[in-house]
Chains A and B, each alone.
Chain A
Amino acid sequence: MPIDFNFMVGGEAGQGVQSVGFLLAKVFARGGYHIFADQDYESRVRGGHNFFRVRVSDDKVDAIAEEVDIMIALNMDSIELHQPDMVTKGIIIFDGEKIKGVSGDNGSLLSIPLEKLAAEKAGDKLMINTVALGAALSLVNYDLNMLNEVLIDRFGKGKVGDSNIAAAKAGYDYVQSEHKGNFRKIKPLSETKRMLLTGNEAISLGAIAAGCKFMAAYPMTPASSIMEYIAAKSKDLDLVMVHAEDEIAAINMAIGAAYAGVRAMTATSGSGLCLMVEGIGLAGITETPIVIIDAQRPGPAVGLPTRTEQGDLQFVLHAHHGDFPRAVLAPATIEDAFWVTVNAFNWAEKYQLPVIILTDQHLASSHATVDSLDLSQVTIDRGMLFSEKEDDPLEYMRHRVTKSGISPRAFPGLGKALVVTDCDEHDEEGHLTEDAGERAAQVQKRLRKLIPLEKEIGTPHRYGPKKAETTLIGWGSTYGAIHEAVDILRREEASVNMLHLNELWPFPAKSVADAVSKARNSYAIENNATGQLARLIKAETGYDISGRILKYDGRPFTPAYIAQAVRKEAR
């Protein structure tokens, strides 16, 4: 029988929900399982209600499930809010001595004196969450040694590690001796450990692998962990991360570094990107390659700071005044985020333009297992560079008008060539000009770069039968949920397929038109309120997407939600 098992850890901010959730995900990833885990948290440091869901599967998973098999409830809210999510034989672990007055089906409620065990066996009553972790793993008879390894990795071999191991054992043993129920057994699958990454970690690794040497950013949820990761690795990997005074400074610093010759990026979320908009145009007119990560969250303005949305697509396509080329990418999965980021740096330099990567809170802070990232597949293409051996540096012109629109780059101070550029319209040399002919030539030259760039855009991902009555269309982080919804519906014999885009601009109009024209019904499935991709498809292909399944409550799609919505639409 296939394994597709779901844990949930719920509690207040500050109770260690994230920590236990992560350790759960880690211990199964170590055992060779595929994991998808998401985080739902409020914009506060203490209190409130947060939860962390961990899906464990023996097959690849890219989405969260709605049902929960085992819940660790660290507060009453977890029980009250999520009891309806429990499967029939699911179990809720809680401390009945701390959380009083719990009602519900007694068979599913497992009270364990977590705090008492933590105090007695681990000498620290704060370790209730580790006791609960041991108890949860005991319910499925998982290998306790594997948890011990993970705890040592996390807390070290000293006193803290030992206490955690004692706490986990206390919970594990308690369930083995006191719990009479017969529960499903999950054994480690294989010796193959899997990497467990968040979307932001995948992007950070992709940037470092691509040779990004400089990042400037201003903290903003859910993008901040990118700048923190780059800063943490700056010593070992010779990187610079500048915590700028604001987003305006951040993007302008990155542009300065890129002009000087290093690969550079910034990362933010919607309202931070609003401040960066002038920089997008600056990169456009000065033809400076930069990568901008927009980890979307619901807007407008501050919106829902810790939640997810795909509301920035139309914004990033148009952000800034005037006509100039840009590229917009949207990773489909956490693994894809690595490769899309590598690609972004290559495109930025080959075509000398801003590349925007659209992720969202769901992708940024969810964890997934990634089989392997084959670094030998990483290619670095820095585009056309000026050679002082072949050409006279005194004749160098940064914005030389060429057939492809791409002018070879030189870097200031590395040779005799003077590198001149301007945010005013400029002549080929880079000096400001108001000449009508030179203006037109520079506009055309910049836009010509789109022609080779368009050829780089791949065919959007297709899944399911080539011809189907219904086509589900999505972009970015909804890939996993839509993909699995197609599976669910096809098991019900529905004629469904999927079209998914992770490269949005330049828009692959021909292949999208081809796919859309073949479907009787097409549904745009988007985490926004107006169907921003559907509008883009209409604008670029002329095709109307007949239906829209939109979610803009700040929460991610689940496969079951999409399947149900499609069924409803089909009726």
Chain B
Amino acid sequence: MVTASDYAGLKPAWCPGCGNFGILNALNRALVEMKIEPNQVLLVSGIGQAGKLPHYTRGNVFNSLHGRPVPPAIGARIANPELIVIAVSGDGDAYGEGGNHFLHAARRNHNITYLVHDNQVYGLTKGQASPTSDVGFITKTTPYGAANPINPIALAIVSGASFVARGFAGDIDHLSNLIKKGIAHRGFALIDILQPCVSFNHKNTFQWYRERIYNLEDEKYDPSDRKAALEKALIWGEEIPIGIIYEEDLPVYEDQLPALSDGPLVKQKIDSRRVEKLLAEFM
């Protein structure tokens, strides 16, 4: 029996009222409801306030470098596909420093779930603009306003991710459900999470998001339609859709690896004598 106490980690060092608390609660709830034991989970995070999340829950943890949670998550998942691998980033980590890994992980459709705490600002380094800051957002590093933001939802869809969703840190029930679906999905599952930053983003507040978000489940919407998904991905401003924007059953990278058909690599025995037949080829 898995209970909430199994996921009681260290005391968070986040600011009081931070959107990260909602994400942490939603993740813990999803894992408990899916009856997943902490030792079955691998949380791979990057650097930023989001990167600290794994320490505040329980599981196997690889807290990686800034921008790099996805590559080690991929390596670990291939080494042991029995692990439930969840990568955790902030918007700077995922879409700035780690942008290339994000595109290619989506393209190859690795079987990992990617939670991106998207607060549209840098928190840990104290308030600089991020790749998703709204255009014109004024910070110490963008005194004349931030340039156009990138659109992570659209990028994920066109790059080949097979599950693309947007959640909101202020709606734990909804977010927890999304995380459960992301974990259950086979393939690269991006969940971009609107996460108010109470210290450095005074524009995109809880209130601001609440006034704009609407749930895609409340309308007739088919997330398997890629074109329609791209249209939804472009909606941002007065209205912001949340929920599963795109979901499709697509080939997964691991499936094309013949080595995994003999069980997880990590469980395979080392047998140096197998090299003998290779040596013969050089005679």
Using a CB–CB cutoff of 8 Å, the interface residues on chain A facing chain B are 30, 193-197, 201, 205, 208-211, 213-214, 216, 233-235, 237-240, 242, 244-246, 248-250, 252-264, 278-279, 282, 286, 373, 375, 378, 380, 411-424, 430-432
B46 to chain A, nearest CB (A): 9
Contact of B80 among A30, A261, A375, A423 (CB under 8 A): A261
Write the chain B residue with the least CB distance to A414: B266
A209 to chain B, nearest CB (A): 4
List 17 additional contacts besides A214-B75, A420-B54; criterion CB under 8 Å. A201-B282, A208-B275, A211-B270, A237-B259, A240-B265, A245-B101, A248-B71, A248-B100, A256-B76, A257-B78, A260-B75, A279-B65, A412-B39, A412-B42, A413-B60, A418-B58, A418-B60
A39 to chain B, nearest CB (A): 17
Using Cβ atoms and an 8 Å threshold, which residues of chain A touch B59? 418
User: Does B180 count as interface, using CB distance less than 8 angstroms?
Assistant: no
User: Does B83 count as interface, using CB distance less than 8 angstroms?
Assistant: yes
Does B75 lie within 8 Å of A418, measured CB to CB?
no
B121 to chain A, nearest CB (A): 21
A277 to chain B, nearest CB (A): 11
**CB within 8 Å of A: which of B116-161?**
none
Q: Roughly how many angstroms separate A381 CA and B103 CA in the complex, as a whole number?
A: 38
Using Cβ atoms and an 8 Å threshold, which residues of chain B touch A234? 257-259
Write the chain A residue with the least CB distance to B59: A418
Q: Roughly how many angstroms separate A250 CA and B283 CA in the complex, as a whole number?
A: 32
Using Cβ atoms and an 8 Å threshold, which residues of chain B touch A254? 75
Using Cβ atoms and an 8 Å threshold, which residues of chain A touch B185? none
Residue interface bits B263-283, CB-to-A below 8 A is 1, else 0:
001111011111110110011
Smallest CB-CB A-B distances: 3 pairs = A256-B75, A256-B72, A211-B270
User: Does B68 count as interface, using CB distance less than 8 angstroms?
Assistant: yes
- On chain B, the number of residues with a Cβ less than 8 Å from chain A's Cβ atoms is 56
Q: Roughly how many angstroms separate A249 CA and B71 CA in the complex, as a whole number?
A: 5
**CB within 8 Å of A: which of B59-81?**
59-65, 68, 70-80
Using Cβ atoms and an 8 Å threshold, which residues of chain B touch A414? 80, 266-267
A-B pairs under 8 A by CB, number: 195
Q: Roughly how many angstroms separate A412 CA and B64 CA in the complex, as a whole number?
A: 15
Using a CB–CB cutoff of 8 Å, the interface residues on chain B facing chain A are 10, 38-40, 42, 44, 47, 52, 54-55, 58-65, 68, 70-80, 82-83, 100-101, 103-104, 257-260, 262, 265-268, 270-276, 278-279, 282-283
Known: A211-B270, A240-B260, A255-B75. A421 touches B65 (CB 8 A): no
Using Cβ atoms and an 8 Å threshold, which residues of chain A touch B275? 205, 208-209, 373, 375
Max chain B Cβ within 10 angstroms of own Cβ: one of A195, A255, A278: A255
Using Cβ atoms and an 8 Å threshold, which residues of chain B touch A233? 278
Which secondary structure characterizes the binding site on chain B?
Answer: helix
Known: A244-B71, A413-B83, A423-B64. A259 touches B279 (CB 8 A): no
Does B272 lie within 8 Å of A210, measured CB to CB?
yes
Does B103 lie within 8 Å of A415, measured CB to CB?
no
Using Cβ atoms and an 8 Å threshold, which residues of chain B touch A259? 62, 72, 75-76
Does A240 lie within 8 Å of B62, measured CB to CB?
no
B281 to chain A, nearest CB (A): 9
Known: A201-B282, A286-B62, A418-B39. A249 touches B78 (CB 8 A): no
Q: Roughly how many angstroms separate A367 CA and B47 CA in the complex, as a whole number?
A: 45
Using Cβ atoms and an 8 Å threshold, which residues of chain B touch A249? 70-71, 100-101, 104
Using Cβ atoms and an 8 Å threshold, which residues of chain A touch B44? 256
Q: Roughly how many angstroms separate A261 CA and B83 CA in the complex, as a whole number?
A: 12
Using Cβ atoms and an 8 Å threshold, which residues of chain A touch B268? 213, 238
Q: Roughly how many angstroms separate A431 CA and B75 CA in the complex, as a whole number?
A: 21
Does B80 lie within 8 Å of A413, measured CB to CB?
yes
